Amino acid sequence: MDEMRDRIVAAAKRHRTRCAEFLRELIAIPSTSRNEEEIAMLVRKEMLKLGYPGVDVDRFGNVVGRIGNGRTRLLFDAHMDTGDVGDRSLWRFDPFRGDFKGGKIFGHGAANNKGGLAAIVHAGAIIKELDLASDCSVFVVGSIQAEECEGLSYKALFDVEKLYPHFMVLSMPTGMRICRGQRGRMEFRVTLRGQPVHASNPEKGFNSIYGISKIIQGVQELNDKLAKDKILGKASVAVTHVESEYNGPNNLPESCHIIIDRRVVPKDSEKRIVSQIKELCKGTRAKVEVVEYDKGSYRGLRLPMAKNFPSWLLDTDHPLVEAMEDAYRSVYKKKATQDIWTMSTAGVYTMGIADVPTIGFGPSEESFSGPVNDHVRIDDLEKAMAVYASMPGCLPDVEPIKIPRQR
């Protein structure tokens, strides 16, 4: 066991420089949701250069590398897309240059999730080089559109491509801690129609902005009253977008809508959450609806999905958690720290809806995303590679995959 551990650690050290270079190449490519084709081709090219036996781009646009043909199916995920870079004047560094400073690589998406992407791609190569997947089928997936609709890639992989794993590891930033759950998420659109008139006579119409502002105030007050879970934390609600439809700056708007983000804990029920939002709109003509995402991928495939995701949590002694702890201990020679995410990940679909055991382990921290501090430590890339590569040897025996019913 110690000999294999030493070989894995040595292999991660050999891959360290190229993994860092690959991350800088990933950062150099702008890859907002639905614009991932260029970065997908780079990931595919890297997998082929590293000798992956199988590399495909599926019908949705995910890049899927495969190593091994064993019974146990282990899937590593990293999403290739990022949010928009926003106002570039706010960045302390060029967001697409991949600056190297103080043992860290800075750039847009370094923390979420391109650092994890570079690490899982090179971990797959280590698994192949050291023949660590003799009893496993290891899938390394560069997924897409996660910033706009988390988990949508796995609706494609599970329901369209029929690729079902026994276990999943998300490489989203965890600070090298094991994340075993998160709050769920619902997204609402609330629309209020106005009575547009010329702004010189506002009393003759109805200003939907004024009407919606009262609902916004209600959302703020509701947030303080929501339930708290002892593990996953407090439920929350926030207005994240406000937009009006108008015919010019001298007219009252035809309508105004807001987007509401609701974070969900186990005590919440869908019926209660919807009722809370509708109660805020009582006495108005506002229309309340759960947002349905319906935008096609860069390959043109459209998979409508309601943004209604439950919370999820693996037990501390779940076999997948124990396997990750064993892998961590083999590399670090100490016990891992367990944690939960505050942000949302593909786990809301893979575990929350599809019931595939899912955990998170990745370089960088949730808080490192953004124009001031978006970076990943190269030491963490190296250690993450070693932990990922150790996972196949730590997994329990499993039964063959049973094809679940269509969701």
Question: What pLDDT, on a 0 to 100 scale, did the predictor assign at position 5?
Answer: 95
Supply the DSSP string of 136-166, one letter for each residue: EEEEEEEE--TTTSTTHHHHIIIIIS----S
Q: Is the pLDDT of residue 259 over 80?
A: yes
Tell me if 351 sits within 8 A of 311, measured CB to CB. Answer: no
Supply the DSSP string of 249-280, one letter for each residue: TTB--SEEEEEEEEEE-TT--HHHHHHHHHHH
Question: What pLDDT, on a 0 to 100 scale, did the predictor assign at position 371?
Answer: 78
Going by the DSSP 8-state scheme, the letter that residue 402 receives in this structure is P
Sheet of 375-377, strand order: 99-101, 104-106, 375-377
User: Who contacts 235 (Cβ-Cβ below 8 Å, separation ≥6)?
Assistant: 183, 226, 227, 228, 229, 262, 263, 264, 265, 267, 268
Question: What pLDDT, on a 0 to 100 scale, did the predictor assign at position 370?
Answer: 77
Q: Is the pLDDT of residue 30 over 90?
A: yes
% the chain with pLDDT above 70: 99
**Which letter, b or e, does each residue of 319-336 get, where b requires 16 or more Cβ atoms within 10 Å of its Cβ?**
bbbebbbebbbbbeeeeb
Mean pLDDT of 45-70: 98
Tell me if 285 sits within 8 A of 223, measured CB to CB. Answer: no
* Rounded Cα–Cα distance for residues 317 and 321 (Å): 6
Question: What are 108-152's pLDDT values in tens digits?
Answer: 999 999 999 999 999 999 999 999 999 999 999 999 999 999 999
> What's the chain's length in residues?
407
Question: What pLDDT, on a 0 to 100 scale, did the predictor assign at position 404?
Answer: 58
Question: What are 150-178's pLDDT values in tens digits?
Answer: 999 999 999 999 999 999 999 999 999 99
Question: What pLDDT, on a 0 to 100 scale, did the predictor assign at position 78?
Answer: 98
Question: What pLDDT, on a 0 to 100 scale, did the predictor assign at position 402?
Answer: 73
Nearest to 360 by CA among 172, 101, 91: 172
Question: What are 328-354's pLDDT values in tens digits?
Answer: 999 999 999 999 999 999 999 999 999
* Rounded Cα–Cα distance for residues 227 and 233 (Å): 9
* Amino acid (one-letter) located at 308: N
Q: Are strands 72-79 and 167-170 parallel, antiparallel or unpaired?
A: parallel
Domains annotated for the chain, with CATH where assigned, are 2-182+311-394 (3.40.630.10), 185-293 (3.30.70.360)
Q: Is the pLDDT of residue 406 over 60?
A: no
User: Who contacts 48 (Cβ-Cβ below 8 Å, separation ≥6)?
Assistant: 55
% the chain with pLDDT above 90: 94
Residue with tokens 């439920």, as numbered in its chain: 235
Q: How far is CA 266 from the centre of its chain?
A: 20
* Rounded Cα–Cα distance for residues 300 and 302 (Å): 6
* Rounded Cα–Cα distance for residues 392 and 291 (Å): 38
Q: Whole-model pTM?
A: 0.96
Tell me if 33 sits within 8 A of 44, measured CB to CB. Answer: no
Going by the DSSP 8-state scheme, the letter that residue 395 receives in this structure is P
1 vs 11, more confident: 11
* Amino acid (one-letter) located at 68: G
Question: What are 362-371's pLDDT values in tens digits?
Answer: 999 999 977 7
Cβ neighbours of 353 (radius 10 Å): 20
Q: Is the pLDDT of residue 39 over 60?
A: yes
Q: Could you give the C-alpha distances from 301 to 59, 61, 155, 304, 357, in angstroms and in order?
A: 7, 8, 12, 10, 27
Q: Are strands 104-106 and 178-182 parallel, antiparallel or unpaired?
A: unpaired
Q: Is the pLDDT of residue 407 over 60?
A: no
82 forms bridges with which residues in the sheet?
32
Query: Band of the pLDDT at 372, cuts 50, 70, 90?
Result: confident
Question: What are 62-96's pLDDT values in tens digits?
Answer: 999 999 999 999 999 999 999 999 999 999 899 99
